[in-house]
């Protein structure tokens, strides 16, 4: 049976679905894909995630924020820190995060150079948002803003989390500021000639949102 997860106010509940491999054949035959669904991602979603990410970022920066191996690693280690938006069973937008144990974000050159994946730190109050991406056919529709809002509300329902960190280019600062992020200054992370701004969102202190979210 699908586990219902409390949703923010004014939005319908979403479900963390039992993987199809664990459902009975009879249930699979009767299953009808919902028109719109928000759920945590799984390793089975990794190819769809990477294809959307690659199309969105390679043409701009020449590389993806996460390699396919890193996507698989994070979706295996911390699927609860991801959120995907599916329409009729197709992934249209997603966010991937992981636990972070430092005050500021730094690029893990050590892990990259040793062919290890960027680390996920457990039992930490900070979430590092690695990537938010929307399918090219679904852009300019407000889906990125809606997904980010739902993701932050969802994080507020998880015990122990106090803040979310990310880096973005300067032109994206207003987008994240509208979602509740604040600038922390220039980031130490650079990719080729690109520079970034580090931003932070406090997950505690939004008492009204939590009271009305059903958490």
**Mean pLDDT of the residues in the chain:** 79
- Tell me, what's the pLDDT at 7? 44
Of all residues in the chain, the percent with pLDDT exceeding 90 is 53
Q: Residue 87 and residue 186: Cα distance in Å, rounded?
A: 36
Q: For 100-139, how does the pLDDT look when each residue is reduced to its tens digit (9 = 90+)?
A: 988 888 765 333 433 444 578 888 999 999 999 999 999 9
In the predicted structure, residue 207 carries a pLDDT above the cut 50: no
- Tell me, what's the pLDDT at 19? 44
- Tell me, what's the pLDDT at 133? 94
What is the average per-residue pLDDT within 190-199? 83
As a three-state string, the secondary structure of the chain is: CCEEECCCCCCCCEEECCCHHHCCHHHHHHCCCCCCEEECCCHHHHHHHHHHHHHHHHHHHCCCCCCHHHHHHHHHHCHHHEEEEEECCEEEEEEEEEEECCCCCCCCHHHHHCCCCCCCCCCCCEEEEEEEEECHHHCCCCHHHHHHHHHHHHHHCCCCCCEEEEEECHHHHHHHHHCCCEEEEEEEEEECCEEEEEEEEECCCCHHHHHCCCC
Q: For 18-63, how does the pLDDT look when each residue is reduced to its tens digit (9 = 90+)?
A: 444 444 444 554 556 678 999 999 999 999 999 999 887 755 555 6
Model's pTM, two decimal places? 0.76
Q: For 77-89, how does the pLDDT look when each residue is reduced to its tens digit (9 = 90+)?
A: 999 999 999 999 9
191 vs 176 pLDDT, higher one: 176
- Tell me, what's the pLDDT at 35? 85
- Tell me, what's the pLDDT at 14? 44
In the predicted structure, residue 8 carries a pLDDT above the cut 60: no
């Amino acid at each position: 049976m699908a586990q219902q997860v409390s949703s923010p106010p004014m939005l319908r509940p979403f479900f963390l679905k039992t993987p199809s491999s664990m459902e009975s054949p009879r249930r699979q035959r009767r299953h009808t894909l919902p028109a719109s669904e928000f759920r945590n991602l799984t390793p089975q979603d990794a190819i769809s995630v990477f294809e959307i990410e690659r199309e969105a970022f390679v043409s701009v920066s020449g590389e993806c924020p996460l390699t396919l191996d890193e996507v698989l690693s994070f979706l295996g280690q911390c699927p609860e820190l991801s959120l995907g938006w599916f329409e009729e069973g197709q992934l249209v937008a997603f966010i991937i995060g992981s636990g972070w144990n430092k005050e500021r974000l730094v690029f893990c050159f050590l892990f990259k150079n040793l062919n290890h994946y960027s680390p996920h730190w457990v039992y930490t109050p900070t979430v590092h948002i690695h990537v938010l991406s929307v399918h090219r056919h679904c852009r300019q529709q407000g889906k990125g803003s809606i997904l980010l809002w739902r993701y932050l509300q969802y994080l507020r329902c998880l015990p122990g989390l106090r803040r979310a960190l990310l880096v973005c280019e300067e032109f994206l600062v207003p987008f994240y500021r509208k979602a509740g992020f604040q600038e922390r200054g220039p980031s130490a992370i650079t990719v080729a000639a690109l520079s970034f701004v580090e931003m932070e969102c406090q997950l505690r202190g939004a008492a009204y949102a939590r009271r009305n979210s059903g958490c």
